[in-house]
Amino acid sequence: MKVKVISRSVDDFTRERSQDLQRVFRNYDPSLRTQEKAVEYVRALNAVKLDKIFARPFIGAMDGHIDGVSCMAKNPTQLKWIFSGAMDGDIRLWDIASRRTVCQFPGHQGAIRGLTVSTDGRMLVSCGTDCTVRLWNASADNLMELSNSTKNSVEPASVHVGKNAYLAVDHQWDSELFATAGAQVDIWNHNRSEPINSFQWGSDSVISVRFNPGEPNLLATSANDRSIMLYDLRMVSPVRKMIMMTKTNSIAWNPMEPINFTAANEDGNCYSYDARKLDEAKCVHRDHVSAVMDIDYSPTGREFVTGSYDRTVRLFYYNSGHSREIYHTKRMQRVFCVKFSGDGSYVISGSDDTNLRLWKAKASEQLGVVLPRERKKHEYHAAIKKRYMHLPEVKRIERHRHLPKPIYKAAALMRAMSDAKKRKEERRKAHSAPGSVTTQPLRRRRIIKEVE
Amino acid sequence: MPETKRKHRDETNHRRGHSKPNRNSRKKKKTGPRLPSSLQKELDRLNPTAPIDSDQDIDSADGDGAERELLPQDFYEYEEQQAEEESKKNKRYDPGSVDQIQYDLPIERSDESEDEIIQSDDDNDDDDDDDGMRMTGDAADDDSSEEGDGRHTRMLQGITGMPSEAFEGKKKRKMKDDGIPELYPESEYNPSRDVVDGDGQISIDDLLNPLQDNPGFGKLRKRIQQIENNSKAIHAPLRTADQAKVERKAAYEISKKEVTKWQQIIQRNREAPTLLFDENIDLGFSTVGAIASEFEPRTEFERKMAALVSDDKVMEAYKKDGSRLLEMNTVSVEEEKDRQSRIAKMRSLLFRHELKAKRIKKIKSKTYHRLLKKDRLKTEYSKIQMDPEVAKEFAMKQERLRAEERMTLRHKNQNRWAKRILTRGLNSQDEGTRAAIAEQLQRHSELTRKMHSMKDSSSSSDGDDEDAGSDQDMGSKVLGKAIEKTMKVIQDDDETPKSGLLSLPFMRRGLEKNKAAAIEEANLALQEYKDSKKKLENSVGSEGPEATSISGRRVFGASKTQISDAGNKVKSDYNYGSSDSEDDLRASKNGNIETQRSNILQKDVNTDPVLIQEDTDNHQESVFKDFNEIVKNPGPKTTYEVSLFVSDTWKKAGNRDEKGTNVKKSAMPSGSVRQDRKDTEKEVEEDSDTDSEGQMVDRILTSGSKLSYELPSQEELIRQAFAGDDLEDEFEKDKMEILNAENPEPEKPVLLPGWGQWTHVQKKKGLPSWMLKEHENAWKKREEAIKKRKDAQLKNVIISEKLDKKAEKLHTKALPFPFTSKEAFEQSMRVPIGPESNPATAIGALNRPEVVKRPGVIIKPIQFEEVNPHEKPEERRGDKHRSKKNKGSGGRSMKKTSA
């Protein structure tokens, strides 16, 4: 005969410490919990609402510049340091944690247009409209020493003078090369005073340059002739050019997907391209109502941040058509540069109002030390939110954002315009012979041609 | 050496014989004296290419030249092919060497031809022919022909005054043309035309000539030969712009290919449920060993410990094999033995104790445990009796309890729970609750009774103990009461139920029969009571010990009651003579009858008067002690347990009876009970028989009552139950209502009030036709809608088609993006992922976010690694985890992070 008895082993119920929670055993039979789905739905709803309540993305502003911030560079080895360059030729190093200037790098006579730091964090490269490229010793030891001493300005390690203004600079990953853009694209070595390579394709000036961090020999530039160009340093030549309807202000490569890059366009959209297929964008990221000035990928490669001329910062998923988040403050003016922090949890924006602003990448994220139980709870909330995000109530609350009136109106206007265009297109199609009018998808529409 | 050289020359000579004139002419030109300018002009006029050619200009009018001059390299090619001939030409002017050649020829020839055949196809014919020709020529007129040639040119020169080379070329060409015109197609290999035109160029042969003596010459020559053989025509260079374009195109293709290697990694990362970025973090001291190695003793104690641990001797011994450690650790044999024996003893004790505890724990018998408890109590009592101190303490405690009870009346239905139960009605509660209430009341009475007893018997010891005298008093009282009650039963039995199950005729008949029997028995019992009462009165003193020996709790079961009323009356009164409990005879009539029956059977067994008392008590007062028992056997079969406290000690007898009624109970007979049994066996022959009979009777009785009542058929019951309800009609009505609510009937068109009323225009004309039409349409529409309903064809079903607004918020308007079917979408939300419905081990995986990163850890860009496209994601996961575990080994992980 089988006798069923309740058995409780002591080991199962003994706590290691008196603070530990008593272990609770549950019966996970779903038939006992018929309402579980409903309960989770309500929890998801509450989680979304809580997110709204806790959404406090703005951490602080860093003021000190006396002109608009035009460019920024993050130190790949130091999480809490960021360099910023202003339109008056001032370069500053900020300590994000304390939000104070650590030191300054005086020397430039005109606006700084490009800043970049070498991968080892030792060399800061700046360039500007005064036709100079300056290299600074920015190693942590040196700067720490400086910040401790009374003198807090740095002398440049070397100054290279060119013929034309420089509009952008970027450093190659894990090497001594960096590229400047201006009238042409120059490739420099730290140790040489002359560029080791110069590329010119077309006569318009190049306004942005970005090295591919995953595939360091590839670099992409955008020029005033509305083109995006790819260069390959192994082949020592430009490889492909693509011309769009509007100018591309900035380019960012996906650090986790070296074949993909996203271009911040003057028309307010961002276009994600596969470097191998430039005839069609992989994804069009809409939502900005004015030109997108700068773009930077999160180091996780799953999202990117854009700063726009419409005075907002937006965060996008790498594959979504619309932004997941918008940041704005009353005082923030045109945003000229944005950067993701090295750990992917903060966003820094530099704007025309001479300030740098520090934001959380997730608006409602809990800062500070998170206990394991808290973390589990957050994870659970995120999971159920994700699960029920398609249901109308959850979706509505999740998507709702309070916008400044001008942006709201501009967005409505743009929507109206695009709707009208679409209507017109549809009617034209309806009134012409079938097949004679074809609509180009948006991914293709803004591309004029691909030049070999 | 010169021989070999000559051989070379010979070879080349033979092969490239056709270009010899060119060489000749150039040579001559170079060496010859300069012409006067007038003559030169004249020559230019005659042969415009000549001077240009001499200047090595690229723009030669000649077709071959044009082809050659497309690329500067071509020059070289052209010149190269001339190179070998140079030697021959030189030979020309060296008769000695010529002789030599002639001498060597036959041998050379065969080799040559063979070589040629192997080498290539195109040129071979020409060359062979050439060779053949040359051979014949050479063989026929060696020097004479040469001489003749020279003379002829000189003659021409004399006549025309032109340089000899002009004629020479012409002549040579002519000769060739005449001899074998079809064998010499004009080509770069056969540039006779140039030569004819005086188109002499510096060829690579010229350049090579001085190198002949150098050691690498042979190799160089061979290479040149190869190039000659494989040479092709080369296109003109493109414009630089076009060229750049082509280059870019090629470069793009290459970089595209290069970049495509990432495809699989990207794919894998995109498909991965989670990207982990918090791996391979170098935290410095990660292992305990690393931290421990850094430890330095600071305090006195630590230093002492360190000195001991890092003692040289110990370290050495440890390092060797540890045997010395044993030596150093000296313990005396006796000590060790002592210790071992001590431990063994302890262990065995513990083991025995454990075994015993286990055995006791395994015993499931309630009786046993109860007895155990009793034993414990008894020992306590004995202690109390033995030790006045303890007794005093106990008494004080009891007193305090009693006082508390008196003050608070805690157990007299005073607490909230009891009050609530009472307000709700005791009858509507379940048995457990009622039993609990009963228990409480019992406790109250117990506590208060002690007070009485204390008052009555001024004994300082436990109030539970009762004197034999009082016991006997009680016994007689009980007997008296029993007699009274029995009489009552006999008198009361007249009333018969008018309705219900018991009113059925066959039941009534059975009841009557039973009643008759019962009365008979009651009379019998009455007589016996009286007898025993007399006996009791007679033997006051002698009865005591006997009673104690067989006293105890008597339990009677086997009563089957219909739960017409609340069923089981709970009466909790252990107080012997207290009559505050009333008996519900009407309710438990059946049971009474049955118990009476069993009593008859038991009667002869239990001749003891005290037991009889108990039996009679069973009639009147049904007392529940163990409510658990009741809970266990709910329903019609309820057991009435009667326990009486007859003796001073709380011993109970009558295990036998308990066995008879409750088979489940396994009796653990105590000594006294056994004694009792023996006694009864002595008195009566068939003890066990009676037991079984009791059971038997019980069963028969229960089954008898069941048999006697026949259930009406199901339909009948249903009809009875739902008499007067017309469900079908109601349902129809409901359905119609819902139909109307969801598809409302169109309003009837009515005459417009006031409009033309006085003239009765409306009435005369009737309703306007459009109104009627509209109405008709509305009707049609409604009918169609009703027909289209899902429940139109289903008679017994109502399917509401009204939209539920509350449910709407749980539906999406369209299928969300990543899902391809409704089922998939629903499936994605089916299983809950919360911690309440999943074990803790599964929750981590269920709730893991897409990207796991750690704040403050810099994430570096991706680095390339080979990916196996057929690898399963799980494997990779496991692999990752493994690599995570052995941090230092640097497992192959895609992302690299640094702190």
Tokens representing B684 are 């009566």
Grade residue B472 by pLDDT with cuts at 50, 70 and 90. Answer: low
Give the chain A residue nearest B864 (alpha carbons): A214
CA distance A118 to A105: 16
CA distance A27 to A10: 19
Grade residue B39 by pLDDT with cuts at 50, 70 and 90. Answer: low
pLDDT at B865 over 90: no
CA distance A176 to A188: 8
**Pair A246, A227: CB distance under 8 Å:** no
**Pair A267, A246: CB distance under 8 Å:** yes
- Strand (E) or helix (H) holding B484: helix B468-492
Tokens representing A12 are 């199962």
Task: State the Cα angle at B48 between B42 and B49, rounded to 5°.
Answer: 135
Taking only residues 260 to 319 of chain A, the set having a beta carbon closer than 8 angstroms to any beta carbon of chain B reads 260, 275-276, 299-302
Give the chain A residue nearest B861 (alpha carbons): A255
Q: Show Cβ contacts of residue B465 under 8 Å, excluding neighbours closer than 6 positions.
A: B459, B648, B649
Task: Find the mean pLDDT for residues B118-134.
Answer: 43
What count of CB pairs under 8 Å joins A to B? 170
Distance from CA of B809 to the nearest CA of A (A): 6
Q: Which tens digits make up the pLDDT trace of B334-362? A: 998 999 999 999 999 999 999 999 988 88
Question: Tell me, what's the pLDDT at A309?
Answer: 96
> How many Cβ atoms from other residues are within 10 Å of residue B863's Cβ?
15
- Proportion of chain B above pLDDT 70, given as a percent: 47
Instruction: Map tokens 């981590």 to a residue.
Output: B844
Strand order in the sheet with A123-128: A112-117, A123-128, A132-137, A156-161
Q: Of B809, B851, B864, which is closest to A392 when you measure between CB atoms?
A: B809
> How many Cβ atoms from other residues are within 10 Å of residue B105's Cβ?
17
Q: Of the ranges A19-28, A407-416, B622-631, B888-897, which is most confident?
A: A407-416
Q: Of B259, B812, B833, which is closest to A276 when you measure between CB atoms?
A: B259
Distance from CA of A384 to the nearest CA of B (A): 8
Grade residue A168 by pLDDT with cuts at 50, 70 and 90. Answer: very high
Closest CA to B466 of B649, B665, B258, B726: B649
> How many Cβ atoms from other residues are within 10 Å of residue B550's Cβ?
23
Choice among A95-99, B370-374, B422-426, B561-565 with the minimum mean pLDDT = B561-565
CA distance A326 to A323: 7
pLDDT at A45 over 60: yes
Instruction: Map tokens 């306590």 to a residue.
Output: B380
Closest CA to A224 of A245, A239, A206, A238: A206
CA distance B658 to B664: 10
Q: Looking at the complex, does the CB of residue B281 fall below 8 Å from at least one CB of chain A?
A: no
Task: Find the mean pLDDT for residues B597-601.
Answer: 46
Q: Of B275, B828, B833, which is closest to A300 when you measure between CB atoms?
A: B275
Q: Of the ranges A379-393, B523-537, B629-643, B661-675, which is most confident?
A: A379-393
Q: Show Cβ contacts of residue A133 under 8 Å, excluding neighbours closer than 6 positions.
A: A125, A126, A127, A159, A160, A162, A166, A169, A180, A188
**Pairwise CB contact (< 8 Å): A383 & B833:** yes
Q: Of A26, A256, A258, which is closest to B259 when you measure between CB atoms?
A: A258
Kindly list the residues from chain A whose CB atom is less than 8 angstroms away from the CB atom of residue B263.
259
Q: Where are the beta strands (DSSP E) in B610-676?
A: 637-638
Annotate A52-87 with b (16+ C-beta within 10 A) or e (fewer). Answer: eeeeebeeebbebbeebbbbbbbbbbbbebbbbbbb
Q: Of B255, B828, B844, which is closest to A387 when you measure between CB atoms?
A: B828
**Pair A292, A250: CB distance under 8 Å:** yes
Question: Tell me, what's the pLDDT at B283?
Answer: 60
CA distance B310 to B300: 15
Strand partners, A231: A219, A238
Closest CA to A331 of A304, A316, A351, A305: A351
**Pair A96, A82: CB distance under 8 Å:** yes
CA distance B202 to B27: 10
Question: Tell me, what's the pLDDT at B492?
Answer: 60
Question: Tell me, what's the pLDDT at B491?
Answer: 67
Kindly list the residues from chain B whose CB atom is less than 8 angstroms away from the CB atom of residue A261.
none
Annotate B401-440 with b (16+ C-beta within 10 A) or e (fewer). Answer: ebeebeeeebbbbeeeebeebeeeebeebebebbbbbbbb
What average pLDDT does chain B have?
65
Kindly list the residues from chain A whose CB atom is less than 8 angstroms away from the CB atom of residue B264.
none
HSE toward the beta carbon, residue A139, CA cutoff 13 A: 6
HSE toward the beta carbon, residue A197, CA cutoff 13 A: 14
pLDDT at B58 over 60: no
Task: Find the mean pLDDT for residues B530-559.
Answer: 51
**Pair A417, A410: CB distance under 8 Å:** no
- Proportion of chain B above pLDDT 90, given as a percent: 8
Q: Looking at the complex, does the CB of residue B364 fall below 8 Å from at least one CB of chain A?
A: no
Closest CA to A338 of A358, A318, A319, A320: A358
pLDDT at B105 over 60: no
Grade residue B894 by pLDDT with cuts at 50, 70 and 90. Answer: very low
Give the chain A residue nearest B276 (alpha carbons): A300
Suggest the residue from A59, A185, A215 to mutate for an interface test with chain B (most B CBs closer than 10 A): A215
CA distance A297 to A264: 12
The set of long-range contacts for A277-282, using a CB threshold of 8 Å and a minimum separation of 24, is A278/A228, A278/A230, A278/A240, A278/A242, A278/A447, A278/A450, A279/A242, A279/A444, A279/A447, A279/A450, A280/A441, A280/A443, A280/A444, A280/A447, A281/A443, A281/A444, A281/A446, A281/A447, A282/A443
Choice among A318-332, B456-470, B826-840 with the minimum mean pLDDT = B456-470
3-state secondary structure of A260: strand
Q: Looking at the complex, does the CB of residue B261 fall below 8 Å from at least one CB of chain A?
A: no
**Pairwise CB contact (< 8 Å): A240 & B252:** yes
pLDDT at B530 over 90: no
Closest CA to B278 of B888, B890, B884: B884
* Alpha-carbon torsion, ordered B701, B705, B707, B710, to 10 deg: 180
- Residue B214 or residue A274, greater confidence: A274
- Residue B472 or residue B486, greater confidence: B486
Per-position DSSP letters for B141-184, written without gaps between them: -SHHHHHHHHHHHHHHHHHH---HHHHHHHHHHHHHHHH-GGG-
Kindly list the residues from chain A whose CB atom is less than 8 angstroms away from the CB atom of residue B893.
none
CA distance A5 to A39: 33
**Pairwise CB contact (< 8 Å): B851 & A40:** no
**Pair B874, B867: CB distance under 8 Å:** no
pLDDT at B590 over 90: no
**Pair A347, A323: CB distance under 8 Å:** no
Q: Using DSSP, how many helices (H) and how many strands (E) does chain B show? A: 41, 6
Q: Of the ranges A108-112, B85-89, B626-630, B731-735, which is most confident?
A: A108-112
CA distance B26 to B42: 19
**Pairwise CB contact (< 8 Å): A345 & B247:** no
Q: Which tens digits make up the pLDDT trace of B209-241? A: 888 888 888 888 888 888 888 877 777 788 888
Q: Which tens digits make up the pLDDT trace of A300-317? A: 999 999 999 999 999 999
CA distance B72 to B68: 8
CA distance A414 to A401: 18
- Proportion of chain A above pLDDT 90, given as a percent: 81
pLDDT at B827 over 80: yes
Grade residue B506 by pLDDT with cuts at 50, 70 and 90. Answer: confident
pLDDT at B540 over 60: no
**Pairwise CB contact (< 8 Å): A259 & B266:** yes
Surface-to-core class of residue B188, CB atoms within 10 Å of its CB (0-12 exposed, 13-18 middle, 19+ buried): middle
Choice among A164-173, A187-196, A395-404, B571-580 with the minimum mean pLDDT = B571-580
Grade residue B567 by pLDDT with cuts at 50, 70 and 90. Answer: very low
Give the chain A residue nearest B256 (alpha carbons): A276
Q: Show Cβ contacts of residue B677 under 8 Å, excluding neighbours closer than 6 positions.
A: B656, B669, B687
Grade residue A135 by pLDDT with cuts at 50, 70 and 90. Answer: very high
Kindly list the residues from chain B whose CB atom is less than 8 angstroms away from the CB atom of residue A36.
832, 834, 836-837
Q: Of B248, B839, B856, which is closest to A237 when you measure between CB atoms?
A: B248
Tell me the C-alpha to C-alpha distance, in Å, between residue B99 and each of B8, B104, B520, B591, B603: 15, 9, 171, 156, 164
Q: Looking at the complex, does the CB of residue A345 fall below 8 Å from at least one CB of chain B?
A: yes
- Residue B332 or residue B672, greater confidence: B332
Tokens representing B566 are 């609340």
- Residue B786 or residue A24, greater confidence: B786
Strand order in the sheet with A91-95: A69-74, A81-86, A91-95, A100-104
Grade residue B467 by pLDDT with cuts at 50, 70 and 90. Answer: very low
Taking only residues 358 to 417 of chain A, the set having a beta carbon closer than 8 angstroms to any beta carbon of chain B reads 376, 379-380, 382-384, 387-388, 390-393
CA distance B186 to B163: 25
Q: Looking at the complex, does the CB of residue B806 fall below 8 Å from at least one CB of chain A?
A: no
Full-prediction pTM beyond 0.80? Answer: no
**Pairwise CB contact (< 8 Å): B859 & A299:** yes
Give the chain A residue nearest B811 (alpha carbons): A391
**Pairwise CB contact (< 8 Å): B843 & A380:** yes
Give the dihedral sign, CA A15/A21/A26/A28. Answer: negative
**Pair B467, B606: CB distance under 8 Å:** no
pLDDT at A245 over 80: yes
3-state secondary structure of B862: coil
Q: Which tens digits make up the pLDDT trace of A62-78? A: 999 999 999 999 999 98
**Pair A263, A273: CB distance under 8 Å:** yes
Question: Tell me, what's the pLDDT at B872?
Answer: 57
- Residue B889 or residue A198, greater confidence: A198
Instruction: Map tokens 């421990």 to a residue.
Output: B292
Q: Show Cβ contacts of residue B8 under 8 Å, excluding neighbours closer than 6 positions.
A: B84, B87, B221
**Pair A257, A301: CB distance under 8 Å:** yes
**Pairwise CB contact (< 8 Å): A382 & B847:** yes
Question: Tell me, what's the pLDDT at B450?
Answer: 53
**Pairwise CB contact (< 8 Å): A257 & B269:** yes
Q: Which amino acid is at B586?
A: R
Global ipTM: 0.91
Question: Tell me, what's the pLDDT at B200?
Answer: 63
